[in-house]
Amino acid sequence: MIDMQGVYKTYPNGVTALNGIDVKIDQGEFVYVVGPSGAGKSTFIKMIFREVKPSKGIVRVNNMSLHNLKWKRVPYLRRNIGVVYQDFKLLPKLTVFENVAFALEVIEETPKVVRKRVMEVLDLVGLKNKARFIPDELSGGEQQRVAIARAIVNHPKLVIADEPTGNLDPETSWEIMKILEEINATGTTILMATHSKEIVNTIKKRVIAIEDGMVVRDEHRGEYGYEI
């Protein structure tokens, strides 16, 4: 699903964010990305859905070569990737249903398919009864569930979750993790950047640790490994 070989990223200001990354992630894996702030995690994640390009090296996602991918092909790459952010990024004036439906409408699905699929994923995340609410009428945890529903509505092969529990209380965080595990159980690859030591050490998965732009640890059923 993800293959990086000798990947470097140096920004115009001279900062090197990635310094020789070699990583392979198979379809269906659940992987945590951990490391201190400023280690290069965000650049690593943005590289995967082509928000940033490598300065050097090879990046392949779902058998597409990203390092030389033409811009007009980027939307096709992103159709197979769902992204969940820490701050939800919902459209404030749209209802829950409309926020989730938007991801299907941009790829021109029929209204019948849109309604069926949106209600299916809202049911999965426990929000079928709040389809007509707007984001401001929801709790933080509910907004994150909407964001997850939007990320998975078009059956992506990969879901990238960037600090998905960062703004949530502990109980809600565990609920979000349960949903992500259920999604992973269907065969979807999950890549989750997190600073939550408790989650990583409790729900054991593969752990990739990045420091100073380099992978310093890659362990099956690993530990968080940092004091917070």
Residue 152 burial by CB count (10 A; 0-12/13-18/19+): exposed, middle or buried?
buried
d(CA 27, CA 121): 21
- Give the model's pLDDT for residue 76: 87
Cα–Cα distance between 183 and 9 in angstroms, integer?
A: 31
- Measured CA to CA, the distance from residue 139 to residue 53 in angstroms comes to 35
Question: Which pLDDT tens digit goes with each residue over 55-81?
Answer: 999 999 999 999 888 989 998 899 899
- CA dist., res. 38 & res. 16, Å (int): 11
Arithmetic mean of pLDDT over the chain: 94
- Backbone phi, then psi, for 48, in 5-degree steps? -75, -35
Helices (H), the chain: 41-48, 74-78, 96-105, 111-124, 140-152, 170-185, 197-202
Residue 209 tokens, joined:
């640790």
pLDDT of amino acid 143? 95
Query: Domains, the chain, ranges and CATH?
Result: 26-55+79-219 (3.40.50.300)
- DSSP-assigned beta bridge partners for residue 215: 210
pLDDT in tens, 134-168: 999 999 999 999 999 999 999 999 999 999 998 89
In tens digits, what is the pLDDT along the chain, a chain of 228 residues?
Answer: 999 999 999 999 999 999 999 999 999 999 999 999 889 999 999 999 999 999 999 999 999 999 888 989 998 899 899 999 888 889 999 999 999 999 899 888 999 999 999 999 999 999 999 999 999 999 999 999 999 999 999 999 999 999 999 889 999 999 999 999 999 999 999 999 999 999 999 999 999 999 999 999 999 999 998 875
- Three-state SS at 146: helix
Residue 228 has a pLDDT of: 58
Residue 167's pLDDT is 85
| Identity of residue 57 | G
